[in-house]
């Protein structure tokens, strides 16, 4: 069975393959530019061969268009790019062998290898490099070298008179030296071998550079996939915002003391619900309910720090800072009450009680035995839980503390009672939302 990491690695490989195909399309565009540039040059410098140059350029452009259409289509295959590079090499070699000047002037065919045509194989190599495929680059280099040597060997073996570097005089006059070097019968086999070796060497060096670059990109893709996997898995057990902070801080999340707003939610009548539904159905209901509540909290920039039984503890302004934390917490509470009123969860209708308060608290990772959990501590947290419980006594769904009311203003709130709240001296006003 494939693991999540295997699936992430497979995704990175698919991304890399897609990038390579895009590179091949770019290579085809570069090839077209090279054809246009070289074709224009030959048209201006060889006006006697306009028809041949136009035909060759058109044929090469047509082949490029066909290749471009095949890339990323349902007919695309890994070998196709090698086939088109091979065709380019064969067409270039055929054009070199069919150069008519030698026959027209009564010169031996070997004279064509005295022209500056060999660099054209480097154009094919450069175009292949756009694909970012080391294999294609090596193929272009070796294929070009073999085609060049094969063409040269075929011509050289059919020469009646053939001069080589060994026939060049080393100690005689310059005139004798030039007579051999500039002779139409000079083949220069060593030079042809050297040219081919240089082409293959450049291709191999380019392929090595590409392979190193590909490995670097692969490592980045795999690291990115691994980070996404960690965030996904870690985010199932802690708030995703906390997971992102822990990963960005390389595993550390220092304790923070900050004024924040805490929202505590509980399902009314949950004990009776569990007795009626049984464990399996209760879990189904809770999962649907928690999913909806968590989405609403996240939409209001809050962070769920704890699921406990049927209760949800959420914080605003910690660990993520938010100057409007009190306003957003109250709006979040209102949205949750509305959602629960209008939805069914696992086929069940629910009602909730919520307490909201603002004050100082401490947040951070706690735990032992190699396991930690992100949580919040302080009287502010306890106050939110107590306000939630007081809803039952006052017949309300939402109670807001005096500190939160001061933070957001009382226009949206009405004081419903003054009550003694454990941990605080004297009676304190508590508020609920005004009806819409």
Query: Which range (40-49, 295-304, 401-410) has the least confidence?
Result: 40-49
Residue scoring higher pLDDT (356 or 60): 356
pLDDT of residue 369: 57
For 100-144, the pLDDT digits (tens) are 655 556 677 888 888 778 888 888 888 888 777 888 899 999 999
Output b/e per residue, 248-286; b: 16+ Cβ within 10 A.
eeeeebeeeeeebbbbbbbbeebeebbeebeeeebeebb
Judge whether 70 and 21 are in contact, CB under 8 Å.
no
pLDDT band at 233 (very low <50, low <70, confident <90, very high): low
pTM for this predicted structure: 0.51
376 closest CA partner among 324, 432, 302: 302
pLDDT band at 353 (very low <50, low <70, confident <90, very high): very high
For 266-280, the pLDDT digits (tens) are 999 988 888 888 888
* Strand, helix or coil for residue 373: strand
**Average confidence score pLDDT of the chain:** 81
Q: Domain ranges in the chain?
A: 4-231, 254-433
Cα-trace Rg, the chain: 39
Q: Does an H or E element contain 292, and which?
A: helix 279-299
Question: For 254-433, CATH number?
Answer: 3.30.70.1230
pLDDT of residue 292: 93
Query: Which range (137-146, 168-177, 395-404, 407-416) has the least confidence?
Result: 168-177
Cross-strand bridge partners of residue 133 = none
Contacts of 152 (CB under 8 A, 6+ apart): 113, 187, 189, 192
Share of the chain above pLDDT 90, in %: 30
Q: How wide is the angle at C-alpha 344 spanned by C-alphas 340 and 349, nearest 5°? A: 75
Distance CA 325, CA 284 (A): 31
């Amino acid at each position: 069975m494939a693991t999540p990491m295997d699936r992430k690695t497979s995704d990175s490989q698919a991304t890399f393959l897609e990038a390579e195909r895009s590179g091949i399309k770019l290579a085809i565009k570069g090839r077209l530019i090279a054809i246009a540039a070289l074709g224009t040059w030959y048209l201006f410098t060889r006006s006697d061969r306009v028809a041949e140059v136009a035909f060759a350029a058109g044929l090469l452009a047509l082949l490029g268009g066909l290749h471009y259409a095949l890339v990323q289509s349902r007919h695309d295959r890994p070998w196709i790019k090698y086939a088109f590079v091979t065709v380019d090499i064969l067409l270039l070699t055929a054009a070199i062998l069919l150069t008519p000047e030698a026959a027209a002037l009564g010169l031996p065919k070997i004279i064509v290898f005295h022209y500056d045509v060999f660099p054209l194989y480097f154009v094919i190599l450069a175009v292949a490099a756009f694909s970012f495929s080391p294999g294609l680059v090596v193929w272009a280099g070796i294929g070009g070298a073999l085609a060049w040597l094969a063409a040269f060997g075929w011509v050289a073996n059919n020469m009646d008179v053939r001069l080589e570097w060994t026939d060049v005089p080393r100690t005689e006059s310059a005139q004798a030296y030039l007579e051999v070097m500039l002779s139409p019968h000079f083949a220069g086999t060593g030079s042809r071998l050297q040219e081919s070796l240089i082409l293959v060497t450049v291709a191999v060096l380019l392929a090595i550079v590409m392979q190193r670059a590909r490995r670097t990109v692969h490592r980045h893709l795999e690291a990115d996939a691994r980070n996404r996997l960690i965030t996904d898995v870690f985010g199932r057990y802690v708030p995703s915002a906390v997971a992102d902070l822990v990963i960005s801080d390389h595993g550390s999340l220092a304790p923070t003391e900050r004024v924040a707003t805490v929202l505590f939610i509980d399902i009314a009548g949950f004990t009776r619900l569990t007795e009626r539904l049984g464990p399996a159905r209760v879990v189904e209901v809770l999962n649907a309910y928690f999913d909806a509540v968590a989405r609403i909290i996240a939409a209001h920039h809050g962070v769920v720090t704890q699921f406990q039984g049927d209760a949800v503890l959420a914080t605003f302004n910690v660990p993520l800072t938010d100057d409007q934390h009190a306003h957003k917490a109250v709006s979040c509470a209102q949205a949750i009450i509305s959602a629960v009123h209008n939805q069914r969860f696992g086929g069940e209708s629910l009602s909730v009680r919520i307490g909201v308060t603002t004050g100082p608290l401490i947040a951070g990772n706690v735990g032992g035995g190699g396991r930690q959990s992100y949580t919040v501590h302080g009287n502010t947290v306890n106050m939110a839980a107590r306000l939630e419980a007081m809803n039952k006594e006052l017949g309300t769904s939402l109670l807001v503390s005096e500190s939160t009311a001061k933070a957001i203003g009382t226009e949206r709130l009405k004081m419903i009672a003054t009550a003694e709240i454990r941990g605080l001296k004297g009676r304190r006003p508590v508020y609920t939302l005004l009806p819409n």
